[in-house]
Structure 1
Amino acid sequence: MTLIHTQPRPADANPAHRTAVKGMEAAGPQVCDDMSVEVALAVMAAARTSRLVVCDQDDQRTGLVTRTELAAVRDSSDYTDRVRLRDILGDHGSSTSPVTTMAEAEHETRSRRLGVLPVVDEQGSGLGVLALSR
């Protein structure tokens, strides 16, 4: 009889048990919610990103905006240069915890038709985002 050494399978080998923090990507730059749409678009262009994490004056995450959303706001007939990010956030309060499983996060992202789902810590600070693969 020969003794065979085996290594235990890592807990995150099964994708359903992986946590959100293991599957997330960088959220993008954090900006203040009093930033104008034009400045936010310029920040995105400079950072070569398609999304920004929006925070309040206390650095607490209040939402996430995408280039597509900002371009639609800028191109609307109601747009003025006084429109701030806080004015357009809408229902971007969706987020998940770093310990949420990937399966749960994917279900939430698909059921709420979100392009990305921010991952935030207990204090509400943005850690990254989960994006559905295409």
Structure 2
Amino acid sequence: MTLLQTHPRPAHTNAERWTATDAMDAAGLQVWDDMTVEVALSVMSAARTSHLVVCDEDGRYTGLVTRTRLTAVRNGSAYTDRVRLRDIATVDGPVSGRSS
């Protein structure tokens, strides 16, 4: 089973321009990094959100995925139904060097 934590959506919903730090600071959907691309897209559609905050099994932030990124991966020639968010989540800016 894949963990999904829901939180109220932030007033600023244009996640395409956010940094990873913005996403960590803002309330949003948090999911396990072992979720597949197809499941993540379904969660996004149901929640009407354009991004997901990706966490590891210990609940630590590991990255951010956007609908645009997931769609690009799904439409790519290397895509299989086994691609997990941990394989494609991005960490931008100062978060990549941030300690927990």
User: Which interval holds the TM-score relative to the shorter structure?
Assistant: 0.5 to 0.7
Give TM-score scaled by structure 1 length.
0.50
- Give the whole-Å Cα distance in 1 for the aligned partners of 2:46 and 2:94: 26
TM (normalized to structure 2)?
0.66
1:54 aligns with 2:54: yes
The separation in 1 between residues aligned to 2:83 and 2:71, in whole angstroms, is 13
Deviation at 1:92, TM superposition (A): 1.4
**Of the two, which has the highest radius of gyration?**
1
Shift of 1:94: 3.3
Partner SS for 1:45: helix
CA shift digits 1:23-76 (9 cap, x unpaired): x643x2000000000000000011110000000000000000000000000000
**For structure 1, which runs of at least 5 residues remain unmatched after alignment?**
1-19, 97-119, 124-134
**How many residue pairs were aligned?**
76
Structure 2 residue 64 is the aligned partner of structure 1 residue 75:
no
More helix by share: 2
Aligned residue in 2 for 1:85: 85
- The Cα shift of 1:93 comes to 4.6
How many percent identity over aligned positions? 62
The 4+ residue runs of structure 1 with deviation greater than 6 A are: none
User: After superposition, where does 1:1-134 map in structure 2 within 5 Å?
Assistant: 25-26=26-27, 28-89=28-89, 91-95=90-94, 123=100
